[in-house]
Chain A
């Protein structure tokens, strides 16, 4: 009997030691609002609670994406939890790089999550492949103080109203430009293209992969509007050299009156005098549309996923479950203002008190749409960047640029 007890104790201890030694390697980008290291602190909490050690790798979005592409393509097992961007969903599922989470999730785990965030990471097989950690929905911000000084009663409801208000602000010397766009030759330009197309009710492709962008009047109108911003002089002409950070900084500096696609954290930045010259002047409005009554927002959520090559899938799920659970999600919202993924938290009294403008966010949230889900999305981006820039700089007319895009992508026609 004594021996049995001893043997059981040894096994228990060995088991406990093995579990305690489980180590995860987790990689995801540093959130732009996480200046205080709140994500890293939550990871430490997870380590303490679970006895699982985490090797956390956080870097810029592009760096993470590049690292992961090489790692996943080689079928490596270096990472246990990875960044899974909404723009990569079709490609990664096509390549079979990530594990469905359904078999790890407790039943009903996703009940109460914003449905759109789940849909974007659900494969054609109906399985869920990622849980969102960054609800990156974009909103329309405007400088209410500037509008008031110019005698403008309300923010614009349409893009043409925005042009007209910008001209007033510029002619009175209140704003240098109405707005700036992140139209540098990089990924985000195609996000912006999607955004404007959505505000006109357009679509890039249909579910069968049929090209719509070169035949759809809404898409053409959106492209013409983008060109018009530049031609009318209300868009900063250096926009073709700006990335998102530059556009945010220009807005916070008070050079522009409107920020068409701002990250949720802009409101927090705007209140920080060390970053902003427009403290107390910024408000959230509904995104203007191609015509009155139409509004749309772009959502670019990023999720956690488990790579097929991970050797610690069960522990990896524990990490995801902890980091995306309601408690941690609320804590992150309180600390750094990230948008929760749980519907109930938009009416949570602590959070509403802290972020009264979330009421405006929730009005826009219902209009949010994700990027096109295509296995050849990256090739679409390559072509769309070039042809959009030709269009924006006046080298090609909008319809000609859209036709050129269709011609360059013709190999993918009919392939979703």
Chain B
């Protein structure tokens, strides 16, 4: 007698319910993630220039090959690396530092804990517009503040110079993203047993030694997760900031990878080339993403 595999109607009730509940999510995942993901892969193998359809066709890996010789793309890789690495380091250092301060008892602590989330909760486009005004060469708050305290003699067009443009964008990004680290590290600090720190004080350990010997090992997992998330977000969530404040200028000195993809795809109408860029960026993101998943899984298990 041949065994029949159970069809949808013959499987037991709980499994049927499970499949029914998961199905809408699966449809969304396939429709909005997997299909575009696969379609972009196909696009990246084509010369798909909407403005010059006569040149379109299959080109294999040529788009990827051209990317490796594209000076603007290679520049964007460097600018993205600078932007991400400096931002993440500052966000972690400041985030841990502020969390340590806010973990202590002081008047108004609860209010401050609530207020600190505001920059992170601001929509990215609002944050970007706000910084655009702060950095404005004629009416900007930064120039007004620095001239009033005597640090600057005349108003400075901050985003007209490559070094300053990148520095101010990093500042704006750090201002927005640091609260996320603060909140997570603060939560982790609540889990560090008070007795351990008290015992260390009794043993004569100073504040620095207590931090490195007790606190840091106990929050390291969360700090690692924060760093990985911030790294991923610095690539994914900064388009608005760069687009609004500098448009990638002056002369591509703040041109990060998402800006390049945007230009090539939606301005240049070269969808194949833009898709190849997006794929290389996705591959670059895969590394921190895998580390993040591993760290998050380990943190959950522990």
User: A residues within 8 Å of B by Cβ?
Assistant: 66, 69-70, 73, 90-92, 94-96, 184-186, 237-242, 246, 250, 375-379, 381-382, 385-387, 389-390, 393, 395, 408, 415
Q: Roughly how many angstroms separate A15 CA and B246 CA in the complex, as a whole number?
A: 54
The contact of A95 among B50, B155, B252, by CB within 8 Å, is B50
> Which residues of B are found within 8 Å of A377, using beta-carbon distances?
51
Let me know if A94 and B251 touch, CB within 8 A: no
Q: Which residues of A lie under 8 Å from residue B176 when comparing CB positions?
A: none
Instruction: Give the interface SS of chain B, mostly helix, strand, loop or mixed.
Output: loop
Is A91 in contact with B51, judged by CB distance below 8 angstroms? yes
Q: Return A406 CB to nearest CB of chain B, in Å.
A: 14
Residues A94 and B71 in contact in the complex (CB < 8 Å), given A237-B160, A389-B251: no
The answer to whether the Cβ of B60 comes within 8 Å of any Cβ in the partner chain is no
Residues from chain A with a CB closer than 8 A to the CB of B246 are 185
* A residues near B52, Cβ cutoff 8 Å: 94, 375-376, 415
A401 to chain B, nearest CB (A): 10
Separation in Å of the A179 CB from the closest CB of chain B? 14
Q: Is B78 an interface residue (CB 8 A)?
A: no
Q: Could you give 18 example pairs across A and B, Cβ below 8 Å?
A: A91-B51, A96-B53, A184-B247, A184-B249, A185-B248, A185-B250, A185-B251, A237-B160, A238-B137, A238-B138, A240-B250, A241-B157, A376-B51, A378-B51, A378-B268, A381-B267, A385-B249, A393-B250
Beyond contacts A240-B250, A382-B263, A386-B72: 9 other A-B pairs, Cβ-Cβ < 8 A, are A73-B269, A94-B52, A185-B248, A186-B247, A237-B157, A241-B157, A241-B158, A378-B267, A382-B267
Partner among A95, A376, A379 whose Cβ is within 8 Å of the Cβ of B53: A95
Give A389 to B72 CA distance when docked, in angstroms. 14
Give Cα distance in the complex from A241 to B157, angstroms. Answer: 7
Task: Tell which of B54, B160, B249, B271 touches A238, judged by Cβ atoms closer than 8 Å.
Answer: B160
Interface centre among B54, B161, B249 (most CB of A within 10 A): B249
Contact mask for chain B residues 92-114; partner A; CB cutoff 8 A; 1 contact, 0 none: 00000000000000000000000
Residues of A within 8 A of B157 (CB): 237-238, 240-241
Contact check, A70 vs B249: say whether CB atoms are below 8 A apart: no
Residue of A nearest to B270 (CB): A379
Give A242 to B267 CA distance when docked, in angstroms: 21
CB distance from B67 to the nearest CB of A (A): 14
Residue of A nearest to B50 (CB): A95
B64 to chain A, nearest CB (A): 16
Which residue of A is nearest B55, CB measured?
A415
Known contacts A90-B51, A385-B249; A241 and B159 CB within 8 A of each other: yes
Cα-based distance from A242 to B160 in the complex (angstroms): 9
CB pair B160 A240 closer than 8 Å: yes
**Does B233 sit at the interface, judged by CB under 8 A?**
no
Residues of B within 8 A of A393 (CB): 160-161, 250-251
A242 to B159: give the CA distance in the assembly, Å. Answer: 10
Sorted nearest first, the 7 A-B pairs with minimum C-beta distance are A185-B249, A238-B157, A238-B137, A91-B51, A389-B251, A240-B160, A185-B247
Q: How many residues of B contact A (CB 8 A)?
A: 31
Please tell me if the beta carbons of A69 and B263 are within 8 angstroms of each other in the complex.
Answer: no
Mark B232-267 against chain A: 1 for CB-CB distance below 8 A, else 0: 000000000000001111111000000000011011
Bound complex: CA of A66 vs CA of B267, how far in Å?
A: 8
Contacts of A66 in B (CB 8 A): 266
CB neighbours (8 Å) of B264 from chain A are 382
Q: Determine if B51 and A389 form an interchain contact, defined as CB atoms under 8 angstroms apart.
A: no
Residues of B with C-beta under 8 A to A70: 266
Closest-CB distance, B73 to chain A (whole angstroms):
11
- Residues in B with CB closer than 8 Å to A246 are 138
Out of A69, A94, A95, A240, which one reaches B249, CB within 8 Å? Answer: A240
Is A69 a contact of B138 with CB atoms below 8 Å?
no
The CA-CA distance from A317 to B155 in the complex, in Å, is 52
Residue ID in chain A nearest B247 by CB atoms: A185
Beta-carbon contact of A94 and B51 below 8 Å: yes
Q: Which residue of A lies closest to B66 (CB)?
A: A411
A238 to B138, CA, bound (A): 8
Contacts of B271 in A (CB 8 A): 73
A43–B252 Cα gap in the complex (Å)? 42
- Chain B residues near A184 (CB-CB < 8 A): 247, 249
Do residues A69 and B268 form an inter-chain contact, with CB atoms below 8 A?
Answer: no
Interface 1/0s, chain B 258-287, versus A by CB < 8 A?
000001101111110000000000000000
Contacts of A395 in B (CB 8 A): 251
What is the minimal beta-carbon distance from A189 to any residue of chain B, in angstroms?
9
Q: Looking at the complex, which one of A91, A185, A250, A381 makes contact with B50 (CB distance below 8 Å)?
A: A91
How far does the Cβ of A298 sit from chain B's closest Cβ, in whole Å?
A: 20
Contact (A408, B71) CB under 8 Å given A241-B137, A378-B269: yes
- Chain A residues contacting B251 (CB-CB under 8 Å) are 185, 386-387, 389-390, 393, 395
How many angstroms from the CA of A123 to the CA of B115 in the assembled complex?
A: 58
What CA separation (Å) do A95 and B268 show in the bound complex? 13
- The smallest C-beta distance from A297 to any residue of chain B, in angstroms, reads 25
> Which residue, of B155, B248, B269, has the highest number of chain A Cβ atoms within 10 A?
B269
**Please, which residue of chain A has its CB at the minimum distance from the CB of B158?**
A241
In the assembled complex, the Cα of A250 lies from the Cα of B247 at a distance in Å of: 21
| Contact assessment for B268 and A241 in the assembled complex, using a CB-CB cutoff below 8 Å | no
Give the complex CA separation of A389 and B246 in angstroms.
12
B268 touches A382 (CB 8 A): yes
Interface centre among B157, B158, B250 (most CB of A within 10 A): B250
**CA A372 to CA B157, docked complex, whole Å:** 31
In the complex, how many angstroms separate the beta carbon of B55 from the nearest chain A beta carbon? 8
